[in-house]
Amino acid sequence: MNAMPEAAITAAANQSRVAFGLAVTAMAADDGNIVAISSDTLDLMGLRDFVAAYPDRLVEAGIAEQNAMGIASGLATTGMRPFLCGYAPFITARSMEQLRNDVAYAHQRVVIGAAASGVSLGVSGGTHHALEDLGLMRSLPNMTAIVPADALQAWHATQATTDIDGPVYIRLGGRAPEPPVTSASTPFQLGKADCLHDGNDVTIIACGYLVAEAMTAAEALKGQGVAARVLNMHTIKPLDTDAVLAAAAETGAIVTAEEHRITGGLGGAVAELLARENPTRMRMIGMPDEFAIVGPTPKVREHYGMDAASILAACQELVS
């Protein structure tokens, strides 16, 4: 495991997309088979140091995500370790055929760093929002899907891909603020949720940006005499079923929170599990079944209730 450049991540405003690029660069120093493939993302993903150190191991595919996915798959067949860097809405939807057939179906060892997920590019419009990407990734056999809660966890998650024999999707933020909720020393274990706040009255299961909002809601509930458990479900596939089932049995109420449609993503994964194993009262915080409005990211999130206030209200409803 490489030492985390915590200062560099902090200097980059704690952006998970940059932490991904820094992690890939650090890993490349120890593994000559690592190659980075950019879909016009050198600056977005913090790859300038990689270019400077390993110019012959960087492929710039440009705004051609289908080609980039094919290049990644092809390189994987030769024993190389491709890290594919793209914008979440394009590296998934635009190249879905290549992702499905050339990477997932072929069980290629390709790591996809998908920046600008959710509505983190809120002002750019519906074409640039990624609100169904987790649903797409969850539906693909062989795929591992990770949603780090912050930049420091994005570093750890990227490093952890060394032990994964198959394709990986890491969902990263854009240029919107990503408040830190973990530390450099916080351990990362694939498929194991982190309990960030103890409680037995209600459980909030969140991923990505909504983890910080869940912690804010939990503190507000604490002031009201309600003990909320907060699970950072950083791995959507494979899901930590033990943590979900324990939360259902011990708290009897679940609120999921994600910057994704309420169908197909974290909420869907939790609901599917509970429907089979232990039907539990639930509320889902996320994007409704519509295309998002255009506007500044904080305003778009607030408009659709992807925030601490909505998590708080959902918890209050369940415990009342």
CA distance 244 to 125: 34
pLDDT of residue 12 exceeding 90, the answer is no
Contact 164, 144 (CB under 8 A): yes
Name all domains of the chain by residue range, CATH numbers in brackets. Answer: 9-171 (3.40.50.970), 194-319 (3.40.50.920)
Contact 131, 289 (CB under 8 A): no
Q: How confident is the model at residue 28 (pLDDT cuts 50, 70, 90)?
A: very high
pLDDT of residue 11 exceeding 90, the answer is no
Res 5: pLDDT: 79
Closest to 213 in 3D by CA, of 167, 177, 164? 177
The larger pLDDT score, comparing residue 183 to residue 304, is at: 304
Res 289: pLDDT: 95
Amino acid at 232: N
Summarised one tens digit per residue, pLDDT across range 71-83 is: 999 999 999 999 9
Summarised one tens digit per residue, pLDDT across range 223-276 is: 999 999 999 999 999 999 999 999 999 999 999 999 999 999 999 999 999 999
pLDDT of residue 291 exceeding 80, the answer is yes
Average pLDDT over residues 301-316: 98
As a whole-number percent, the residues of the chain with pLDDT over 90 amount to 93
Closest to 265 in 3D by CA, of 96, 117, 126? 117
Averaged confidence pLDDT in the chain: 96
Res 6: pLDDT: 81
Average pLDDT over residues 152-178: 96
As a whole-number percent, the residues of the chain with pLDDT over 70 amount to 99
Res 4: pLDDT: 79
Buried b or exposed e, range 210-220, using 16+ CB within 10 angstroms: bbbbbbbbbeb
CB atoms within 10 A of CB 277: 13
Res 3: pLDDT: 80
pLDDT of residue 199 exceeding 80, the answer is yes
Would you mind telling me the total number of residues written for the chain in this entry? Answer: 320
Average pLDDT over residues 101-119: 98
